Amino acid sequence: MLKFNRKLILSMSTAAALALLTAGCMGASTSITHATTEANGKATIDGGSTYPVVNDKTGPYYVDPQVAADAPKINNGRVPTANEIAAWNTDIMPDGTGLPEGSGTADEGSDIYDAKCVACHGDFGSGGGGYPSLSKGNAYDLQKTLTNNRWKDPEADGPVREFGSYWPKATTLFWYIKDAMPHPFTKSLSDDQVYALVAYILNVNEMKIDGIDVDDDYVLNREKLLKIKMPNRNGFEPNIDGPQALDDVRAFYADAANFGAQKIKKGATPCMKNCQAPTAIVVHIKGAGISNFLPPMSDARNLPAEKKVAVNPASVYKNTCEMCHGNGVGPALGNKAEWAPYLAHGMKKVYANAIHGTDGGMPAKGGSSLSDADFKTVVDYLINGK
Amino acid sequence: MDNKKSNQEIDRRDFFKKAAASVTAIAGTSLISSNARADDPAIMKHVPWGQTWGDPVTKNRYGVPSKYEHNVLRRNTKLLASGNFRASIAVTPLQESMGIITPNGLFFSRSHGGTAHIDPAEYRLMIHGLIEKPIVLTLEELKRYPSVSRIHFIECPANGGQEWRGPQFNSLQFAKGFMASAQWTGTYLKTILADLGVKKEALWMLAEGSDSSEMGRTIPIDKVWDDAMIVWGQNGEALRPEQGYPVRIVLPGWEGNLCVKWLKRLEFAAAPWYAKEETAKYTDLKPTGKAIQHFYANEVNSTVTSPSPEIDWTSLKDGDIVEIQGLAWSGMGTITGVDLSFDGGRNYVKAYLKGLVLPKSWTRWAYMYTYKKGKELLLTSRATDDAGYIQPTIDQEVSVMGVEAVYHRNAVETWEVTKTGKVNHVEIRTMKKVKDA
């Protein structure tokens, strides 16, 4: 593998250098060496650029040639035990790899569904609560809606992308329920329970297995699940199955028209005049659009609204007031005799002096940053001693 | 005269504008000191922070933004609130974003079962399947592999996906903020694999997370041998929990969903897995009824970030020279250029790239503009990349993809600037079925 990898890197650089020679620089950014084909001349897997290592750089980044050009075989780990691999290797593939034995009926599934799923997914998988629906009716009929597009009328019937009408493989459903459901308590269902739930979801999607309706007492098991032919099994592109899959993917992304992309010829100037269709108009947001943002949108740089924090007058006294009031400077905590002459002026005056400070040496709010209302509670504490 | 106004009026740009306008204007905005106007209290008075102690260095052992920046936040909407915000997304405030890096606390957050909090002592990465030597690594062992640091954006392919049938969000944060950018530190996956002997029948790799949704995706082997990274660092510190702490996979330029977080397992196989997030979701339904599966790269894209619906031009004065600024990015390569239109993409002028121009990275661009008060504008940006792609018009894109695709929408985006300088999100398009282009 290492040998293959090294070869790949070398020939990629050659391809890149060649591309640079023939095509010259492109646009403003330029000195970055890239290729849109791989070493064997095949297109890249995603239709994009790659940056093979050239002169110890990949694109603009320097790489350590000790690692990039002659990758050392580093192994920092250990071999997992068979049990460890089994514990984590819980995925389920379309050919049945990983799919456990077990069974359950749609009826049993209905009970589990009502106990564990209905709160989020709604009655009979109808959706609600922000969670996906699991069925909108007959899977075979609804598969035909997939060509619907709401070009003009948002109220028109759109495509129905439910498990029954859209998903290409039934194993996906078993795998997801087993690993990721119920949402707040995942990995808590037994294999039999999952079979029962899959049977129930097949039932509400009005699906058949081998021409037989999955009705209430249909017993779903491993063998039957693997026989399910999903109505939309041929509804996806590019092909990803079989030994030629990656070539099929490369071919798909080599043609921009397949995925709605636009290309311009190398060195060509893009359209600069009259680049919109004459029929194009300015379309505004209808009404307020979607605007229930959390928290509400704002770019204000004011101070945040003060959070109401319960003030503990005793601890404010300890930290702020005691150094004077506890040392004979100013009336002492809870000392009625000492407070009497001040109180004779009325509480309004006492509060005002406390808040604004006095020439006699009382600092405003004792130097604290409490609100007026909060500081009044500290004053009350100082007077009453509690 | 309030503070703000007086600050604006002593602005140099303002002087030049008024100098050209009239003699009285010159007298009113002269650069020569005079006492003809009220003094600015922000200058004339001692400020509280100038006369008292500031915080000791012992405060905020891990620093936090100024309390005045409290509105710069990730935001969410009830529209995308599945699972009590645990199969949901909170998006990045691009209107406040600077440069090509997103602060870690503002990086958009998307999960399928909530943000997992992993004990690093119990972290394990297992690699197995069609390889000669399966391996299990602790976090410490993983971090001993030679490291690389790369700046890449990560974008949810549903960025802009609510707006195939028309604009919905009068907001840059929500129209384009399903993405963010960071310098990622980790090791190339191929560096780990060098010793493990990946078998030649292995065409696909499953990457699986350890969160409650066990999020998994199938990745083609090409990406594994190209630039796939196993990442533990984000902008110079450990990954944030929302980004998959302690370890995620980063596939530069590819769908955020493929960059599996809380990574626990990589398995090699000859056939793909058909995981839920590559069948039920993250597939692009076309009007033909066929849906694109395994749509990997986020295509070339761009947006104007200043002005934005959030931070508009209502405070600008006639003649102000202002920088129109934006971001361009491509998951398929390096940005080669950006053009800017003032009439909704009918006619373009060349805009200018700024700063670092890196592969599969956000790229800043700008254009200096003299603002004309009362003039309506339709600001549209359009980017190109070194793989040869250019952003399509909306009509071009929907002629192939229809309006039900949800994902991978990269047509040009338009901000309408009204007479008063308000900014609205609009789309320039033909509102009917578009015949094949």
Domain boundary among A204, A225, A246: A225
| Residues of A (248-287) whose Cβ lies below 8 Å from B | 249, 253, 256-266, 270-277, 279-286
- The pLDDT, as a whole number, for residue B29 is 52
Q: Report the residue of chain A nearest B133, measured CA to CA.
A: A79
Residues 360 through 419 of chain B touching chain A, CB cutoff 8 Å = 378, 382, 384-405, 408, 410, 414, 416
pLDDT digits (tens, 9 = 90+) for B198-224: 999 999 999 999 999 999 999 999 999
- Listed residue (A59, A7, A15, A64) closest to A36, CA to CA: A15
Per-residue pLDDT of B302-323, as tens digits, reads 999 999 999 999 999 999 999 9
Check CB contact of A5 with chain B, cutoff 8 Å: yes
Return d(Cα A354, Cα A357) in angstroms, integer: 5
User: Is residue B180 pLDDT above 70, yes or no?
Assistant: yes
- Residue A318: which CATH number? 1.10.760.10
Where exactly does CATH 2.60.40.650 map onto chain B? 301-426
Give A99 to chain B, closest Cα distance, Å: 12
Q: How far is CA A203 from CA A182, A215, A219, A353, B154, in A?
A: 19, 6, 11, 78, 39
CB of B298 within 8 A of CB of B161? no
pLDDT given for residue B83 in this prediction: 74
Using the beta-carbon criterion (under 8 Å), do A183 and B77 form an inter-chain contact?
Answer: no
Interchain proximity B429–A283, CB inside 8 Å: yes
For residue range B130-174, list pLDDT tens digits in order: 999 999 999 999 999 999 999 999 999 999 999 999 999 999 999
Q: Give B-chain residues touching A2 at CB under 8 angstroms.
A: 194-195
Nearest beta carbon to residue A235 from set B291, B330, B404: B291
Q: Closest-CA residue in chain B for A146? A: B289
Chain A residues touching residue B67 (CB < 8 angstroms): 303-304
Asked whether residue A256 is assigned to any structural domain, the reply reads: no
- The length of chain A is 386
Assess if residue A125 is contained within a domain.
yes
Nearest to A240 among B195, B272, B297 (CB): B272
Question: Percentage of chain A with pLDDT > 70?
Answer: 90
Last residue of a domain, one of A172, A192, A225: A225
Put simply, whether B77 touches A (Cβ < 8 Å) is yes
Largest distance between two CA atoms of chain B = 84
Q: What is the pLDDT of residue A315?
A: 86
**CA of B278 to nearest chain A CA: how many angstroms apart?**
10
Cross-chain residue pair A60–B336, CB shorter than 8 Å = no
Contact B253 A273 (CB under 8 A): no
A101 lies in the same domain as A10? no
Instruction: Supply the pLDDT for residue A242.
Output: 98
Same domain assignment for residues A130 and A172: yes
Q: Flag whether pLDDT at B8 surpasses 70.
A: no
Element (H, E) at B397: helix B394-401
Q: What DSSP character marks residue B243?
A: G
Contacts of B428 in chain A (CB under 8 A): 276, 280-283
Q: Do residues B423 and B308 lie in contact, with contact meaning Cβ atoms separated by under 8 Å?
A: yes
Give the pLDDT confidence of A291-303 residue by residue, as tens digits: 899 999 999 999 8
Structural class in CATH, domain B301-426 = mainly beta
- What is the pLDDT of chain A when averaged over all its residues? 88
A35-66 as b/e: b if 16+ CB within 10 A: bbbbbeeebbbbbbbbbbbbeebbbbbebeee
Residue A59 has pLDDT above 70, yes or no: yes
Q: Does residue A235 sit within a domain? A: no
Instruction: Please report, in angstroms and rounded to a whole number, the separation of the first and last CA atoms in chain B.
Output: 57
Segment B184-202 shows an average pLDDT of 97
Mean pLDDT of A34-48: 88
CB contact under 8 A, B299 and A266: no
Select from B148, B226, B397 the Cβ nearest to the Cβ of A260: B397
- The answer to whether residues A115 and A210 belong to one domain is yes
Let me know whether A145 and A182 are in one domain.
yes
Residues A204 and A94 in one domain: yes
Which member of B167, B171, B429 has the closest CB to residue A297?
A: B171
CA distance A45 to chain B (A): 7
**Number of other CB atoms surrounding residue B423 within 10 Å:** 24
Chain A residues close to B112, C-beta within 8 Å: 180
Q: For B77, which of A71, A88, A290 is closest by C-beta distance? A: A290
Which residues in chain B are closer than 8 Å to A235, comparing Cβ atoms?
Answer: 289-291
Q: Which residues neighbour B219 within 8 Å (Cβ) at sequence distance 6 or greater?
A: B204, B205, B206, B207, B228, B249, B251, B258
Is A34 in contact with B359 (Cβ distance < 8 A)? Answer: yes
Assign A305 a pLDDT band (cuts: 50, 70, 90): confident
Residue A355, domain extent:
313-384
For B65, phi and psi rounded to 5 degrees?
-65, 160
From the list B79, B181, B159, the residue with the least C-alpha distance to B409 is B159
Helix (H) or strand (E) holding B378: strand B377-385
* Residues A243, B270: C-beta atoms closer than 8 Å: yes
Residues A196 and A124 placed together within one structural domain of the fold:
yes
Average pLDDT of the residues in B98-108: 98
Q: Is the CA virtual torsion A267, A273, A274, A276 positive or negative?
A: positive
**Residue A313 distance to chain B (closest CA, Å):** 24
pLDDT reading at A222 higher than 80 = yes
Minimal Cα distance from B73: which residue of A?
A: A295
User: Is the predicted pLDDT of residue B108 greater than 80, yes or no?
Assistant: yes
Contact between chains at B222 and A183 (C-beta distance less than 8 A)? no
Q: Is A31 inside any structural domain?
A: yes
Question: Any idea which fold B90-290 has?
Answer: Sulfite Oxidase; Chain A, domain 2 (3.90.420)
What pLDDT is recorded for position A31? 57
A106 and A218 housed in the same domain: yes
Is the pLDDT at A346 greater than 50? The verdict is: yes
CA-CA-CA-CA torsion for B370, B372, B375, B377, nearest 10 degrees?
A: 20
**Cα–Cα–Cα angle for B421, B426, B429, rounded to 5 degrees:** 140
| Length of chain B measured in residues | 437
Q: Is the pLDDT of residue B275 over 80?
A: yes
Q: What is the ipTM of this complex?
A: 0.91
Calpha distance A342→A332 (Å, rounded): 12
CB-nearest partner of A180 from B76, B213, B291? B213
* Same domain assignment for residues A28 and A132: no
In this structure, are strands A236-237 and B377-385 parallel, antiparallel, or unpaired? unpaired
Name the segment(s) of chain B with CATH classification 3.90.420.10.
Answer: 90-290
Q: How far is CA A212 from the centre of its chain?
A: 39
Mean pLDDT of A341-349: 89
SS3 B105: helix
Q: Residue A308: what residue type?
A: K
What does the alpha-carbon distance between residue B309 and residue B379 come to, in Å, rounded to a whole number? 12
pLDDT of residue A365: 86
- Report pLDDT digits (tens) over B395-419: 999 999 999 999 999 999 999 999 9
Answer yes or no: do B75 and A294 touch at CB < 8 A.
Answer: yes
Q: Pick the residue with more confidence: B90 or A312? A: B90
Average of per-residue pLDDT across A264-280: 93
Whether the CA torsion B41, B43, B48, B51 is positive or negative: it is: negative
> Exposed (0-12), middle (13-18) or buried (19+): which is A337, by Cβ within 10 Å?
exposed
Counted domains in chain A = 3
Please tell me which residue of chain B has the smallest CA distance to A274.
B346
Q: Using a CB–CB cutoff of 8 Å, tell me whether A301 touches chain B.
A: yes
Query: Mean pLDDT over residues B345-354, rounded?
Result: 98
Nearest chain A CA: its distance from B16 CA (Å):
29
- Res B278 pLDDT > 70: yes
Q: Are residues A118 and A209 in the same domain?
A: yes
Does A1 lie at the interface with B, CB-CB under 8 angstroms? Answer: yes
Of B106, B215, B88, B160, which Cα lies nearest the Cα of B329?
B160
Q: Quick check: A3 pLDDT over 80? A: no
Residue range B35-51, pLDDT digits in tens? 788 999 999 999 999 99
Q: What is the pLDDT of residues A151-199, one digit of tens each?
A: 877 778 999 999 999 999 999 999 999 999 999 899 999 999 999 999 9
pLDDT for B22 equals: 44
pLDDT in the model for residue A128: 78
pLDDT at residue B325, as a whole number: 98
**Mean pLDDT along residues B181-200:** 97
Q: Give the pLDDT of residue B28.
A: 46
Confirm whether A293 is domain-assigned.
Answer: no
Question: Buried b vs exposed e over A169-185: b needs ≥16 C-beta within 10 Å?
Answer: bbbbbbbbbbbbbbbee
User: In this structure, is residue A288 part of a structural domain?
Assistant: no
Average pLDDT over residues A53-69: 91
Closest to A295 (Cβ–Cβ): which among B75, B81, B276? B75
Is A247 inside a domain boundary? no
Per-residue pLDDT of B36-93, as tens digits, reads: 889 999 999 999 999 999 999 999 999 999 999 999 999 999 887 777 788 899 999 9
Residue B235 has pLDDT above 90, yes or no: yes
Mean pLDDT, chain B, integer = 92
pLDDT higher than 70, residue B27:
no
| Facing A180 at nearest CB: one of B113, B136, B299 | B113
Q: Which of A58, A88, A252, A274 is the best substitution to test chain B (most B C-beta atoms within 10 A)?
A: A88
Domain boundary among A225, A253, A280: A225
> Which chain A residues touch B190 with a CB distance below 8 Å?
5, 71
CB atoms A159 and B404 under 8 Å = yes
Q: Quick count: other Cβ atoms within 10 Å of Cβ B133?
A: 15
SS (H, E, C) chain A: CHHHHHHHHHHHHHHHHHHHHHHCCCCCCCCCCCECECCCCCECCCCCCECCEECCEECCEECCHHHHCCCCCCCCCECCCHHHHHHHCCCCCCCCCCCCCCEEEHHHHHHHHHHHCHHHHCHHHCCECCECCCCCCCHHHHHHHHHCCCCCCCCCCCCCCCHHHHCCCCHHHHHHHHHHCCCCCCCCCCHHHHHHHHHHHHHHCCCEECCEECCCCCEEEHHHHCCCCCCCCCCEECCCCCCCHHHHHHHHHHCHHHHCCEECCCCCCCCCCCCCCCCCEEECCCCCCCCCEECCCCCCCCCCCCCCCCCCHHHHHHHHHHHHHCCCCCCCCCCHHHHHHHHCCCHHHHHHHHHHCCCCCCCHHHHCCCCHHHHHHHHHHHHHCC
